[in-house]
C-alpha cells in the first residue's frame, strides 16, 4: 500500500535556514508496505526458522520510488524489501563488509520463503 503524503518541498527550490542553503533536486512519496498478508507471514516464518528467533522489522531511509510504481501497477501484490546486512557491516561506508554467516542466513531465509510461499495454492483468476 502506498502512502500519498509529500514533504511539502518542491523540486528545484532552495531552502535557507541558519545560513545554510539546500537545493532540492527531487522529491518522492513515502511508501509503507502492508504487513498482514500471506507473503509477510511466510517471510516471518522463514526468518524465524533460519535465525532461530522472531523477525524484527523497521522502517528506515528514504523512499524507493519503484515501490510506489509497483504498488500502483499491482495493487493486490505484497512487497517485501530485504537486504543482507547486520549491525557491524557499515553499509555504504568505504569499508563496508557483511559477515558471511549473515549472507548464508539470508539465503536460507529466501529459500525457505520461496518453498513455503510457492507451495501455497493460489486460486485461479477468472
pTM: 0.70
In the chain, which stretches have pLDDT less than 70? Answer: 1-13, 60-63, 121-126
Long-range CB contacts (within 8 A, 24+) of 63-72 = 63/28, 63/29, 63/30, 63/31, 64/31, 65/28, 67/2, 67/31, 67/33, 68/2, 68/28, 68/29, 68/31, 71/1, 71/2, 71/31, 72/2
Cβ atoms 71, 28 nearer than 8 A? no
For helices 100-118 and 38-51, the axis angle rounded to 10 degrees is 140
> In the prediction, which pLDDT does 38 show?
94
- Which pLDDT score is estimated for 11? 62
Amino acid at each position: 500500500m502506498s502512502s500519498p503524503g509529500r514533504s511539502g518541498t518542491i523540486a528545484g527550490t532552495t531552502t535557507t535556514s541558519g545560513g545554510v542553503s539546500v537545493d532540492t533536486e527531487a522529491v518522492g512519496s513515502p511508501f509503507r508496505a502492508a504487513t498482514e498478508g500471506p507473503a509477510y507471514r511466510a517471510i516471518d516464518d522463514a526468518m524465524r526458522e533460519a535465525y532461530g528467533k522472531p523477525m524484527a522489522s523497521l522502517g528506515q531511509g528514504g523512499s524507493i520510488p519503484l515501490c510506489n510504481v509497483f504498488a500502483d501497477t499491482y495493487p493486490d501484490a505484497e512487497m517485501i524489501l530485504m537486504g543482507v546486512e547486520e549491525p557491524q557491516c557499515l553499509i555504504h561506508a568505504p569499508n563496508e563488509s557483511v559477515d558471511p554467516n549473515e549472507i548464508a542466513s539470508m539465503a536460507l531465509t529466501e529459500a525457505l520463503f520461496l518453498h513455503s510461499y510457492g507451495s501455497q495454492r493460489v486460486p485461479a483468476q477468472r
